[in-house]
Amino acid sequence: MTPSRGGPLAGLKIIELAGIGPGPMCAMVLADLGATVLRIDRREPSGLGIQRPLRFDLLLRNRHCISLDLKKADAVEAVLSLAEGADGLIEGFRPGVTERLGLGPDVCQARNPRLVYGRITGWGQEGPLAQWAGHDINYLALTGVLEAIGGPDKPAIPLNLIGDYAGGSLYLALGMIAAIFEARGSGKGQIVDAAIVDGAAHLATSYFGMIAAGMWGQRGTNLLDGGAYFYDVYECADGRWVCVGPVEPKFLRQLLDLVGIAPDDTWDPADRQKWPGARERLAAVFRTRSRDEWTGLLQESDACFAPVLSWAEAPKHHHLQARRTFVEIDGIPQPAPAPRFSRSVPRDPVPPAPKDADVDAALAPWLPAEAIRALRSAGTIQ
């Protein structure tokens, strides 16, 4: 793995203290875009997170990984030496853990005043719940987001994309880049406190506005949560599914025309009392053809239509293939780095590297050769 992969963040150097979920995703995003990220892992497995063979742990791609025993003073000193040449450091422990290790922000920034110290947790660095364990579903529940997702009977669980990765990882990545940008002018680093509850709440800003305006009601009865017949999924003749979302009247008219329905007052999108009946009629129409037949008719139109694809089907879709939305690395289809850049284009991802696979190459961008040899002689690195 080369020290720089190109991309708009080439030259940026980030230390990642190994954690689970949101921290590795943030580190992957930065590395995907060209940052040199060094992951520092435990000597022994933590037992946290969802375990899988390394080559399938795609969040660990694009960076070297070394192991250190952070309970030992020489290992802590090694991290502090690395921090001296870093733009940022990411950690995802419970509040206070890195301080007890001797790697808290005050100590690290004393060695490097420009260092941006990124902290990712569920509940945040302070508050009554800060010290307690939680996962995505809990953070969504507390912010009101979980209650709003699903049908009338009960809330639905939307994977762990909204909290962990959107409200957590991406907000931490944005915060790191913003703080590093500011540090280049001020010469001073700072702490980025990325709490998943904060990010999840922030993602829902538009909905809080609609709620305040009286435009959002009981779960499963609203415009964008499956309440509207024109923003829903429908089963087809072959048992597979399609979705439609023509919220704008002109797009709705095109959908109805293409499926052979003559619009009348029954289909008035502004009359919520007519939504259930319209849904039943539209569902009956979609059950007359297979998913792929409907796709051939509707996909290249303004009907706001898409087939509901499986994980296996998605990388094979012709639009996503044309854009290279997915790439195959080490035999594993996976999302390509995003977003796109016209000039500073990052290279394709590199598979996750085994821990301590090439320590010299991992540390070469960070430390001189004699310092690496000294660490090895002392037994600090493998």
Active site residues: 135, 164
Q: In what order do the strands lie in the sheet with 64-67?
A: 64-67, 36-41, 13-17, 88-91, 116-121, 191-195
CA–CA dist 207, 190 (Å, integer): 31
Residue with tokens 């001020």: 186
Structure tokens at 181: 């940008």
Written as one letter, the residue type at 172 is L
Please count the CA atoms within 13 angstroms of the CA of 52 that sit on its side-chain side: 11
Structure tokens at 150: 């699903």
CA–CA dist 355, 275 (Å, integer): 55
CA–CA dist 253, 205 (Å, integer): 30
On the 0-12 / 13-18 / 19+ scale of CB atoms within 10 A, 121 is buried
Q: What is residue 232's three-state secondary structure?
A: strand
Q: What is residue 91's three-state secondary structure?
A: strand
Cα-based angle 321, 322, 328 (whole degrees, multiple of 5): 35
Structure tokens at 9: 């963040």
